Amino acid sequence: MLIGKVVGFVVSTRKSENLVGNKFMIVEPVTAMKQSNRIVAVDKVGAGIGELVLVAEGSAARIGCGEDRSPIDAAIVGIVDEGQNLDLE
């Protein structure tokens, strides 16, 4: 998983029917993760813009969120409260 900040979202009206009802958030990894590419992740915990979140990728996002037949490869699965030895700017 990775820790990132929710920096935006996108709206898609014409999409796979298995995606209906999901919110697509843009997550930027925090600097401490040392990776730069942003991710579009489906929100499963009610995250808002500006919040620090935990993102799961790959089949973990799909199966781990009970979305076995949806084209989801990333999901926000937790809100980060605090970190130790980690600069969460």
Q: Is 48 a residue that touches its own copies (CB under 8 A)?
A: no
For residue 17, the minimal CB distance to its own copies (Å) is 10
φ and ψ of 62, to 5 deg: -75, -60
Q: What is the Cα–Cα distance from 89 to 63, expressed in whole angstroms?
A: 31
In the complex with its own copies, which residue's Cβ is closer, 10 or 89? Answer: 10
Q: What is the Cα–Cα distance from 55 to 2, expressed in whole angstroms?
A: 5
Q: Which residues bind its own copies (CB under 8 A)?
A: 1-3, 7-16, 18-19, 24, 26, 28, 32-42, 44-46, 49, 54, 56-66, 68-75, 77-86, 88
